[in-house]
A and B are shown apart, each in its own frame.
Chain A
C-alpha cells in the first residue's frame, strides 16, 4: 500500500513520538497507528523493536482515551497485532494494562469497536501468558454468558476462547455446566451451521461467487473455537458430553472445517486429533462417518512418496476386516484409480504398499465384477507378478489370488488370459515359498466353481497341473517329522477320480474314518507324521476307481512347504472329472 511505503521510510522513533504526542490531533494519531500496524504485521523483528522502543504503552493510552471510534478500532487492532503469535508482545500488552480497557469496551455501542476489541482479546487468550479467567466469580460467569449469548460472532468467539484457555479442572467444568455455558456451546455448534446455511440461502443465486464466501468464512473460526472448547471439556472430564449426537456433530463439523481455508483448516486437524486420540468410541464414530477413508484416500495422491505409502498402509489396516469390506466402501473408482496409478510408479515400497491394500479390497463379496477389473488393474497385477523383486511378486500374486475368490467364469477367464498359463506355472514353482503359496491359492480359486473352471489347469498341455504335481512331489520327498502342528482339513469335490491321484509317484495316502466331520464332503487332512503313524492307516488307492463322499486322506506334513501350500496343492490336484460315484474304501 502506498501509505505504508511512505511510512516505512520514517524512523520508528518518529512514529512513536507521533503516537504519544499530547496534542489532540486525532488524524495524525490515526495515521501513526495505521503505519505502526502495517509495519509490525507478520514481523516478529518489527514487533520486538517497537516493543523495545516502548510503543505499546502509547497505543494502550490511545485505547484508553481514544476520542473517536476510528482511533479505538485502530488501537485495538494494533494491540492485537502485537499479541498475535508473539509472547513478548502479549507480555508488553498485558504489562501496559490493555486488558481491562479491552474488556470494558466490549459493550461499546459501535459494532466495529466491539469487533476489534473482541478480536484482540481472542488473540491474547490464545497465548499461555493470558491471565486465567476466574469462573467462580459470579460476576465473571455472568459476563462470560453474556459473551456467549451475544449475536456478534467475534464476541461469542471470545467467550469460547476464554473457556478454551482457562477451563482446566473438572470443578471449573461443573461450574460452566451448571451455569448453562456448555449447553450454549452445543447450541453454537449447531447454530452457526444454521446461520451459515441461512445466510447462504438468503443470498441471491448470482452472488454465489468467491466474493460472497467471505460471509461464510467468518463462521468457521467460531465453530472451530466451539469445538475446541467442547474438546477441552471432554478431555478433562469424560463424564460430560457423553451424548452420541453431540459427539457425532463435533466430528462432522471438525471434518467440514478440515477442508476450510488456511489457519482454520490446520487448527481443525489438531483439534480433531486431540478429540479422537486414545478414545475408541470416538474413533469408531469417525470411521462410521467415512471420514478416515476420505482423508486417507486423498493422501494417495500426495506429492511425497512416503505419504502415499503411509496412506496405503493405513488403508490396508482399515480394509483388513470382512465387516468393512462387505459394506462396499472400498471398491470404488475414487480409491481404486489412484491405487492402480501407484502400481505404475518406480518405487518398490510404494508398489508393495499399494498391492497390500489392493489384495484386501479386491476380496469382493457383493458384485461379480469389481471396479478394480473395470479400471484395468488386472493387467498391471499380471505385469508385477513377473517382477524381479520377490516382495512385489508375492504381493501381486496375493492380490490376484484374492481377486479370483468366488469370481464367475467370465471374470476368471479375463484374469487368466492376462496372466497366462505359463506365468502361473512358473509362479507355482517360484524360488520363494511365499510366492508358491499364493500362486497355489490362486489356482485353487481358479478351479473352484463350475466344471469349466477346471479346464484351466489342463490348458497348454496341462502346464499348471504339472507344476502343481511337481510341488506335491517335492513335498513328499522331503518328509520330516514336525512336532505337533495343528491338523488342517479341507474339502474336495465329492467325486474324485483316483487315477488322477495315482499317476503321481506320491502314494503315501492314509485314511481315517474318525476325522470325518462332514459326511457329504471329502476331506483331505494334512497331518503331522507323528499323529499319522499312530492313528492313521496308510492305504493304497485302487486303480481307476472314483472316491466317494465321506473320505478322508492324510498325507505326511513336511516343513519345506507351508501347510497352506500343501493344502492348495491338494485342492487343485483332486479335480472332479467324472460323475460316477462308488464306494471304494475299506
Chain B
C-alpha cells in the first residue's frame, strides 16, 4: 500500500487547516461520464503497433483520491471484439496517495523512472527526491498525477491471452483534459505510451450528466 499521509504531516506549504486544500483541483473534465479516446503504443523490438483506446470515467471521489472507469482497446489482434477492462485509479494528492506506489512490483526507482517521463513532473522532481513530495501542495497544480490499475475484464474471460497485471502511471492536464500515461508491467514491453484526448462524443459542447448511488 502507498504511504497514507496523516493530517499532522500534511504538506508544509499548505496554509490553514482546511483539508480541501490538499485535494487536487476539481477539474470538470475529470468527472463521471467523461470520455477520452486515443492510442496505446504497444510496440516491441519486433514490430510497431498501437491499439486504439477509449476511456470513460465512471466514478470519482476526490476526497479519497479515488477514480474508476473502463478502458476499451479496439484493435487488439488476438481478440474478435474490443476488449473492455475496468480500472481503479489512485490520485496522487499527498493526502491519500503519494508518488511512491509501494506495491504492484514498483520500487521507488521504477516510480521515479516513470514519473520523470512526464515533462510536467520535472518541477516536482527535486522535492520528491527530498521527502517523497510530502511538502508539495498540488492543489493548484495544473496537472493531476494518478495511477490506474485494471481490476478485471468486463467483456472477455481471463483466458483471452491478454494480461492486466501491470498498471499505468498517468498524468492528466487540467487545462485541456489530455491524458498521458505509461504502462508498467515487469513482464511487458517497457514504457508503452498511452495518449488520450478528451472527447465530447459528437456533442456540440460539453455537458455533464450525473448519477447518485444510495
Contact = CB atoms under 8 A, between A and B. Distances in A.
Contacts of A338: none
Given A356-B214, A490-B208, A491-B28, A517 B174 contact: yes
Interface in B41-71: 56, 58-59, 68, 70
Contact of A491 (B86, B206, B212): B206
| Most chain B beta-carbon neighbours within 10 Å: one of A365, A445, A523, A579 | A365
A568 B25 CA distance: 21
Contacts of A576: 204-205, 207
B209 A448 contact: yes
A486 B21 CA distance: 11
A493 B176 CA distance: 15
Given A365-B58, A519-B175, A494 B152 contact: no
Given A365-B56, A489-B28, A519-B176, A444 B209 contact: yes
B128 to A, nearest CB: 23
Interface stretch (A140-148, A222-230, A319-327, A498-506): A319-327
Given A406-B33, A450-B202, A521 B28 contact: yes
Given A494-B205, A518-B175, A518-B177, A360 B154 contact: no
Interface residues of B, number: 39
Contact of B88 (A323, A365, A402, A523): A323
B207 A571 contact: yes
Given A359-B214, A363-B211, A486-B20, A579 B204 contact: yes
B204 A520 contact: no
A262 to B, nearest CB: 37
Contacts of A489: 26, 28
Interface residues of A, number: 49
Contacts of B201: 449
A448 B206 CA distance: 9
A322 B208 contact: no
Contacts of A356: 214
Interface string B68-83: 1010000000000000
A445 B209 contact: yes
B212 A449 contact: no
Given A491-B208, A494-B206, A363 B26 contact: no
Contact of A398 (B70, B176, B205, B212): B212
A447 interface: yes
A96 to B, nearest CB: 60
B127 interface: no
A495 B212 contact: no
A401 interface: yes
A486 B18 CA distance: 10
A517 B28 contact: yes
Interface string A232-269: 00000000000000000000000000000000000000
Nearest to B56: A365
B86 A326 contact: yes
A360 B84 CA distance: 22
A402 B58 CA distance: 13
| Most chain B beta-carbon neighbours within 10 Å: one of A316, A398, A518, A576 | A518
B29 interface: yes
B176 A520 contact: yes
A404 to B, nearest CB: 7
Nearest to A366: B154
A441 interface: yes
| Most chain A beta-carbon neighbours within 10 Å: one of B26, B86, B174, B213 | B213
A444 B211 CA distance: 10
Nearest to B176: A520
Interface in A519-562: 519-523
B203 interface: yes
17 contacts: A316-B214, A323-B88, A326-B58, A398-B212, A402-B213, A444-B209, A449-B207, A450-B203, A451-B204, A489-B26, A491-B31, A493-B203, A495-B205, A520-B175, A521-B28, A521-B206, A523-B28
6 tightest A-B CB contacts, nearest first: A493-B205, A322-B59, A494-B205, A491-B28, A448-B209, A445-B209
Given A322-B59, A448-B33, A448-B207, 14 more contacts: A365-B56, A365-B58, A366-B155, A401-B211, A402-B211, A441-B212, A444-B209, A449-B203, A493-B205, A517-B28, A517-B174, A518-B175, A520-B176, A576-B204
Interface of B: 20, 25-29, 31, 33, 56, 58-59, 68, 70, 84, 86, 88, 151-152, 154-155, 174-177, 198, 201-214
